[in-house]
Chain A
Amino acid sequence: MRLRRMLAVWAAKITEKACVHIFHRQGVTWAGKIALKICPSILKELAGQVKKDIFIVCGTNGKTTTNNMLCAAIEAEGYRVVCNHTGSNMLNGVAAAFALSAGIGGDLRADYACIEIDEASTRRVFPHFKPDYMVLTNLFRDQLDRYGEIDITMNILKEVMQDAPKMKVIVNGDDALSAFLAMDSGNEYITYGISEQVVDDKDSHEIREGRFCKRCGAPLEYRFYHYSQLGDYACSGCGFRRPVPDYDGTDIEMGGGLAFTVEGRRLRADYKGFYNIYNILAAYAAVRTGGIDAGHFNGMLAGFNPENGRMEGFRIRDTKVVLNLAKNPAGFNQNISAVMQDTAPKDVVIVINDNAQDGTDISWLWDVDFDRFKEANTQAITVSGIRCYDMGLRLKYVDIPAMLEPDVEKAVRERIANGCGNLYVLVNYTALFSTRNVLKRLEGEK
């Protein structure tokens, strides 16, 4: 089997390089597909070579940032880690992460693995290996056309948790859906959360999932919300309630950057967005639950660049550009909050595609509170991408005028030429890579 695995590893490496250099595309998915074709047991074998533990990260939003941060945190403590950095999180992407990390002898030298997995793909990955830890960040509506309903996603996750009874779940206790899932699975679980009220969100019209207790069906009562359905809840019928977090983020500070205290440690990061506190907290809780010292965590945060279009910064001529992924209502609402944290005048370009990986159903745009852009000091909003007309229409019905430009590069160029020098580009999934390429190229232009 060793020879076969070696061949698969080589083929994966060649495929990946070829895709990037010849076709200028991410080749990770293809690399994984070919590796599995040549050696169907490659994932099982390489995962078995991880010396210590395998962490996986699941949940609707925050997977990539949390997983990459977790990987960086473990590396900061001096370990070797396998990680699917690019966010390719289906079976092929996971297989590629292991195959591309292996040496040319076909063996892996790694202490840990940090792997984000698309919720629906967990079913296909778990037959290959059973993780030691699962981080579950949150459950929001996302790609309903692919997954049907949140209930279906929850059923899948419950099934895989029970399929790996020794896997410890590190769960966001502020999310009633995720917390219920962890409690209901029978697996051992550890919680993280934010017990203090940070923003007054009671009057928001944001769509909230799971208003009813998953255990008994009675309405959940909330003391406060952080955003979406994340908050301090208790069931009015049975005893189900928000667990007291094992890792509690306190003394939250949100100004230029973010800061909070957990386990008596003051953690600081130079990014925006309340949701990033959850990402940091999740990574921290995972590191600590895994029995790893977190002595270098702050140092890691200082050097950590979310990249991959997660609040990624560019400078194009005199314009400061921030690219951020927003692919579902909860994520988009948090994005708008992050944009509003910057009080300076700004332009916004919104790019919406409806390719298979985005979810071909874009009705979720109507569940995002776009009217908040009225108070965001925006100079101009441009809508772009395959479904720019739908996006323009969405804004029209909250009385926000928008410029229409289906071509992303033209839309960005126009704002660089005529804008106010502070540009936010908000994109959904498949628009991310193409938009990022455009921004990188424009950044390189003289």
Chain B
Amino acid sequence: MTDVTGKKITIGHLYPDLLNLYGDRGNIACMMQRCIWRGIEAETIEFNTGDTIDFSKLDIVLLGGGSDREQAIVCRNLLEIQEQFKSYVEDDGVVIAVCGGYQLLGKYYKTDAGTIEGLDLVDIYTEQEEGRLIDNIVLQSDLADMPVVGFENHGGRTYINDNQPFGRVLYGSGNDGRSGYEGVVYKNVIGTYLHGPLLPKNPQICDHLIGKALEKKYGEVKLEPLDDHLEKEANAYIYHRFVKG
């Protein structure tokens, strides 16, 4: 089924008033445009701290990155919506969580200043360790044929237990700098340290999220291919510079 008439995707951007580091707006713009270019209606609703969130109205939830201090403030708000968020995830709701948002998906984030309780949506946890992991990063992911490229900058090391990682690290540090893996995939949730932002240079990941959201809402949907030559060039540049040498 390729008919997209009357189809609509609603993106919920959680707490942009606090979690807005690292070009999260780029991820939103990418999802919106790639819907619009295909004739799919797209809308983004921003939820600031204190706003009520009706998850049943959302098709994709974006949880971005913030500073540690801001993350602690967000956490207080998030715990109030934990139950609804949890059932959204268990019901195959699509979530893209980046950097601080990724850490918040887990059970806790232990920092030097204390432990931030997480949303406990995925069985993972994060602990702050000496030194920040900062660099360009390249992955190989089952969710895309192209390499996944981005930038990482995190002091926390995330441990994903038996969960599926988002990708295998070809260049960079990833979750903890040791395991060789980056991010987590659980049901329709992707958690990752990749910003840069993630989606524009990784259009297949963006389409994966849109596809999953449409599938959940309307059943089987085939996405029309777009002209991605610029996306591919930008992606290939990073891949060749850091992996292929």
Contacts and interface: CB of A to CB of B under 8 A. Distances in A.
A207 B195 contact: no
Contact of A363 (B23, B67, B237): B23
Interface residues of B, number: 33
B88 interface: no
A366 B67 CA distance: 18
B84 interface: no
Nearest to B26: A366
A361 B196 contact: yes
B83 interface: no
A148 B23 CA distance: 14
A363 B230 contact: no
Interface in B1-51: 17-18, 20-23, 25-26, 29-30, 33
Contacts of A296: none
B200 A397 contact: yes
A361 B136 CA distance: 8
B30 to A, nearest CB: 6
A383 B93 CA distance: 38
A392 B230 contact: yes
Given A149-B67, A367-B25, A393 B20 contact: no
A264 B18 CA distance: 41
Contact of B33 (A141, A212, A397): A397
A1 B26 CA distance: 56
Given A393-B200, A397-B33, A363 B135 contact: no
A393 B23 contact: no
Which of A148, A364, A397: most chain B CB closer than 10 A? Answer: A397
A268 interface: no
Contacts of B233: 389
A217 interface: yes
A120 B151 CA distance: 22
Nearest to B25: A366
A145 B153 contact: yes
A389 B26 contact: no
A212 B18 CA distance: 9
Nearest to A209: B20
Contact of A360 (B67, B73, B136, B155): B136
A390 B197 contact: no
A365 B69 CA distance: 24
Contact of A393 (B73, B132, B134, B230): B230
Contacts of B197: 363, 366
B234 interface: yes
Nearest to B29: A397
A364 B153 CA distance: 13
A363 B18 contact: no
A21 B151 CA distance: 38
Contacts of B69: 151
A399 B29 CA distance: 11
A399 B32 CA distance: 12
A45 B200 CA distance: 52
Which of B18, B67, B234: most chain A CB closer than 10 A? Answer: B234
A363 B22 contact: yes
B35 to A, nearest CB: 12
Contacts of B30: 397
A145 B22 CA distance: 10
Contact of A390 (B17, B29, B195, B201): B201
Interface in B138-176: 151, 153, 155
Contact of B134 (A145, A364, A397): A145
Contact of B234 (A148, A219, A360, A392): A392
A148 B132 contact: yes
A152 B196 CA distance: 21
Contacts of B33: 397, 399
B231 interface: yes
Interface string A143-171: 01100111100000000000000000000
Interface in A243-298: none
Given A148-B153, A207-B25, A367-B25, A396 B18 contact: no
Contacts of A364: 23
A365 B195 CA distance: 12
Interface string A373-412: 0000000000000000110111011110000000000000
A27 B70 CA distance: 41
A149 B136 CA distance: 18
Nearest to B28: A366
Nearest to B30: A397
B195 A363 contact: yes
B196 A363 contact: yes
A436 interface: no
Interface string B187-204: 000000001110011000
Nearest to B199: A397
A144 B231 contact: no
B29 A398 contact: yes
A354 to B, nearest CB: 9
By Cβ-Cβ distance, the 4 closest A-B pairs, closest first, are: A366-B26, A366-B23, A389-B234, A363-B23
19 contacts: A144-B22, A148-B132, A148-B153, A212-B18, A212-B70, A217-B73, A360-B135, A361-B134, A361-B195, A363-B23, A363-B196, A364-B23, A365-B23, A366-B197, A367-B23, A367-B25, A389-B230, A389-B233, A394-B200
Given A363-B151, A389-B233, 6 more contacts: A151-B67, A151-B69, A362-B196, A389-B230, A392-B230, A396-B230
